[in-house]
Amino acid sequence: MTSTNPPILCAFAGITKMASYGVKTSRVWHCGDLPWHLYVQIETSSRTDNKKCLGLFLTCNDEVDEAAKWSAEGTHTISLLNQIPGLQNMSKTVYGKFTATSKSWGFSKFIEWDLLMDPAMGFLVKDTIVVQVTSNVTKTTGVRSSIKFDFSSPGFGDDGIVLKIEGKKVHVGKNYLSTHSPVFAAMFFGNFAEKDKTEIELKDVAHEDFVELMYVIHPSFREVNKSSYKPLLALADRFQMKYATEAVESCHPGEDYDTHSLVNPFPPPSRLQYQTLR
């Protein structure tokens, strides 16, 4: 199998406020039926020739027990984007095999600190860096394949209803959605203006979070992770989706984890396992 994800953009703010060996982690995305996230870390060690550097690491399937037998092979390009038009990005490629005991691969010395701090280089703007990840997973083992749904176009259960969220279209089946949500049942079949519409705009909803909610209530085996837990629970409650609420609550990640934002805290370095590429 081969799975290639569209470029993933991750913004990390407050870079200069990070302590030595401080870590920030991105949101989670999926590629090859596996969850991935990126983290940045400041390091000064023999791995960085004793120079202060910013490291970038890609992590796969982090929440699965180390005894699990799974692997993912492929190539992953990590790019530190230049925020000054016309200047070049800095890119490096990871070729490692991700497993339960080697979940993170990356570069301790992705960029030297002094170079990152130079305003003329254009990598750090308003104390924020932007990183792009492009992955091509060519082989996986021990991974359950999920049923693929594409809510951006007509497909499974679609009966002509389109939800417009943040300017993007989400194709849904009103009968299927109504069995899960009395809110949508009232919207589609009650005495409301939306009843006769084929396109309905939902406000104050994040498109990405709503699509994740659709995966939860459709037979796609999409797992709930730490970064999606709270927004999914909030949406399930808003639309009174009992099944989705129970499914999400059964995956409670614990109260010590800050939730869905582009940049979240990460466990201390003592809990990290990674391979360093020089």
Q: Does residue 254 lie within any of the structural domains?
A: no
pLDDT above 70 covers what percent of the chain? 83
Which residues are within 8 A (CB) of 42 and not within 5 positions of it... i.e. 6 or more apart?
A: 18, 19, 20, 21, 22, 52, 53, 54, 55, 113
Q: Does residue 255 lie within any of the structural domains?
A: no
Res. 182: pLDDT tops 80: yes
Res. 67: pLDDT tops 80: no
Res. 258: pLDDT tops 50: no
Residues 115 and 12 in one domain: yes
Residues 25 and 116 in one domain: yes
Q: What is the mean pLDDT of residues 187-205?
A: 88
Q: What is the mean pLDDT of residues 59-65?
A: 82
Residues 115 and 238 in one domain: no
Q: How many CA atoms lie within 13 A of 236 on its CB side?
A: 22
Domain coverage including residue 168: 161-249
Residues 16 and 132 in one domain: yes
pLDDT at residue 276, rounded to an integer: 39
Identify the CATH number of the domain in which residue 15 sits: 2.60.210.10
pLDDT at residue 249, rounded to an integer: 79
> pLDDT tens digits for 245-257?
887 777 665 443 3
Please state which of the ranges 109-113, 124-128, 178-182 shows the lowest mean pLDDT. Answer: 178-182
d(CA 229, CA 219): 18
Please state which of the ranges 140-144, 191-195, 201-205, 217-221 shows the lowest mean pLDDT. Answer: 217-221
Residues 244 and 265 in one domain: no
d(CA 275, CA 176): 45
Please state, as a whole number, how many other Cβ atoms lie within 10 Å of the Cβ of residue 126.
Answer: 7
Q: Does residue 79 lie within any of the structural domains?
A: yes
pLDDT above 90 covers what percent of the chain? 45
Q: What is the mean pLDDT of residues 114-140?
A: 95
d(CA 83, CA 63): 33
More confident of the two residues 264 and 187: 187
Residues 92 and 218 in one domain: no
Q: If you average pLDDT over every residue of the chain, what do you get?
A: 82
Write the DSSP string, 6-58.
Answer: PPEEEEEE-GGGPPTT-EEE---EEETTEEEEEEEEEE-SGGGTT--EEEEEE
Residues 135 and 211 in one domain: no
How many structural domains are present in the chain? 2
Question: What Rg do the C-alpha atoms of the chain give, in angstroms?
Answer: 21
Residues 134 and 272 in one domain: yes
| Whether 88 contacts 82, CB under 8 Å | yes
pLDDT at residue 168, rounded to an integer: 93
Q: Sorting pLDDT into bands at 50, 70 and 90, what band is 265?
A: very low
Residues 39 and 87 in one domain: yes
Residue recorded with tokens 């020739």: 49
For 231, the token pair is 């927004």
> pLDDT tens digits for 100-112?
899 999 999 999 9
Residues 70 and 190 in one domain: no
DSSP 210: H
Q: Does residue 152 lie within any of the structural domains?
A: no
Q: Note the pTM of the prediction, 2 decimals.
A: 0.59
pLDDT at residue 99, rounded to an integer: 92
Q: Does residue 71 lie within any of the structural domains?
A: yes
Identify the CATH number of the domain in which residue 191 sits: 3.30.710.10
Please state, as a whole number, how many other Cβ atoms lie within 10 Å of the Cβ of residue 68.
Answer: 12
Q: Sorting pLDDT into bands at 50, 70 and 90, what band is 222?
A: low
> pLDDT tens digits for 134-174?
999 999 888 776 666 778 888 756 677 899 999 999 998 88
Q: What is the mean pLDDT of residues 216-222?
A: 70
pLDDT at residue 62, rounded to an integer: 83
Q: Does residue 85 lie within any of the structural domains?
A: yes
Q: Sorting pLDDT into bands at 50, 70 and 90, what band is 214?
A: confident
Which residues are within 8 A (CB) of 178 and not within 5 positions of it... i.e. 6 or more apart?
A: 184, 185, 188, 189
Residues 66 and 167 in one domain: no
Q: Does residue 54 lie within any of the structural domains?
A: yes
| Whether 97 contacts 125, CB under 8 Å | no
Q: Does residue 148 lie within any of the structural domains?
A: no
pLDDT at residue 26, rounded to an integer: 92
Pick from 73, 72, 71, 76: which is nearest to 94 by CA?
A: 76
Res. 273: pLDDT tops 90: no
Residues 216 and 241 in one domain: yes
